[in-house]
Amino acid sequence: MRLHPIDGLLFLFVKLLKSFDRRQADLKYFSPEKVSNILVVSSTAIGDTLLSTPAIRSVRGRYPRAKIVAHFNRKNLELFKNNPDIDEIIPYCGGYRCFLRTVRKFRKCNFDLVMIFHGNEPQATPMAYLSGARFILKATIPKRYGFLLSNCSTNLKNSPMMHAIDRRLEMASLVGGSGKNRDMVLIADAEDDKFIESFLRDSGLRKDQPVIGFQVGAANRYKMWPRRYFAELGRKILEYNPDACIVITGSKKEIDLCQSVAKDIGRGAITTAGIISLSRMRGLVKKMCVLVTNDTGTMHMAIALKTRTVSLFCPTRSEGTGPVQDLHLHSVIKKDVPCIKCVTKKCEKPFCMESITVDEVFRAVMESLAVSGTGN
């Protein structure tokens, strides 16, 4: 990872500030009765933020009268504006962009407690400290900024087999977070549903036509099932059920990828990449009979919205980020990792994903449709 010139200066600055800070910030001095303003941080990708929502709900359950402000990535915060456990969202702009402006906003809120469920370093922990909050917790202790945290002396479970939701819930329990509910929170409102009904109608779909989703992209190439496999799967599904519609989802950056898969499938496939906004995606995913998906944010959206999924895992671990709620709705296809190249996120040819065959994904889709009553 390349170091930014500001990194060293920021470290020295907060180190100096901390040396003059006489507040007792260890968790043993924490008093829940004195908490009235809380900052919850999950400033990375859509999936990571959704994985944080059970813990945020847990915090809300313990502090029903507190003001809870979320620090979410500006690229996906529109998904969470109607989250009932959050009172306000302050956007994360990425890196040091808007760093000082964001810190000033934080300071005006007078936070008593900051909980970093998933944040970008080296900004997340220093920003939390510069907010003025006395108590700061983070699920994973950063090597450089651990001295700023209140839970350094507290042993949190950190097994690689532990699901991300459970890790965050455990952190919430340190401040009295209540409940063990692992359901992620995402709400598709009536406007989302209305928009999607109109969009599908304008695309030539009948109201009763089964919609099967394909999420063909992912944040990293090593998580992506080959595009030719998606195309072959789509043709096979439409051969079996010509009445179905394959809807291919993706971001603006994935327009070419999505269009190429739709073209290879042919009639019966449409793409929404660059057409439907992120917030409206809630309504689309909710409408799907089943979503075939890589390990990415759309998968987590489907799980949260109780849409059936067939999710594809290799080399990432489904035990850490895959479905844990409504398991009867989800089929996970996973393969062993043949190498460790992708750990560096530099794998340009994710051949390991090719070990997942079209036939086994097709069978999983057919089983899901049969169970839901939407298959032939």
Could you report the per-residue pLDDT of 172-212, keeping only the tens digit for each?
999 999 878 999 999 999 999 999 999 999 999 888 899 99
**Which of 148, 173, 198 is the C-terminal boundary of a domain?**
173
Q: What is the pLDDT of residue 278?
A: 92
**What percentage of the chain has pLDDT greater than the value 70?**
95
Q: What is the pLDDT of residue 108?
A: 98
* 10 and 135 together in one domain: yes
Domain count of the fold of the chain = 2
Q: Give the number of C-alpha atoms closer than 13 A to the C-alpha of residue 247, restricted to the C-beta side.
A: 25
Could you report the per-residue pLDDT of 45-103, keeping only the tens digit for each?
999 999 999 999 999 999 999 999 999 999 999 999 999 999 999 999 998 989 999 99
* 346 and 201 together in one domain: yes
The residues with which 91 forms a beta bridge, in sequence order, are 72
Is 184 contained in some domain?
A: no
* 288 and 149 together in one domain: no
Predicted structure pTM score: 0.94
Is 185 contained in some domain?
A: no
* 260 and 368 together in one domain: yes
Mean pLDDT of 369-376: 74
Is 305 contained in some domain?
A: yes
CATH code for the domain of 308: 3.40.50.2000
* 164 and 63 together in one domain: yes
Compute the mean pLDDT over every residue in the chain, rounded to the nearest whole number: 93
* 27 and 121 together in one domain: yes
pLDDT bin (cut points 50, 70, 90) of residue 15 is very high
* 77 and 201 together in one domain: no
43: left (phi over 0), alpha (psi -120 to 50) or beta: alpha
pLDDT bin (cut points 50, 70, 90) of residue 27 is very high
* 101 and 200 together in one domain: no
Give which of 235, 239, 237, 261 is closest to 248, Cα–Cα: 261
Cα 186 from Cα 301, distance rounded (Å): 7
Q: What is the pLDDT of residue 39?
A: 98
Is 182 contained in some domain?
A: no
Q: What is the pLDDT of residue 180?
A: 84
* 164 and 297 together in one domain: no
Strands 67-73 and 88-92: what pairing? parallel
Q: What is the pLDDT of residue 141?
A: 82
Q: How far apart are the first and last CA of the chain?
A: 51
* 330 and 274 together in one domain: yes
* Per-position DSSP letters for 306-360, written without gaps between them: T--EEEEESSS-HHHHS--SSGGGEEEEE---S-SGGGGT--SS-GGGGGS-HHH
Is 62 contained in some domain?
A: yes
Could you report the per-residue pLDDT of 309-367, keeping only the tens digit for each?
999 999 888 999 999 999 999 999 999 877 766 655 667 676 889 999 999 999 999 99
* 317 and 223 together in one domain: yes
Identify the residue whose tokens are 């998933």: 118
Domain of 80 in residue numbering reads as 5-173
Q: What is the pLDDT of residue 206?
A: 87
**Which of 142, 173, 204 is the C-terminal boundary of a domain?**
173
Cα 135 from Cα 26, distance rounded (Å): 7
* 247 and 168 together in one domain: no
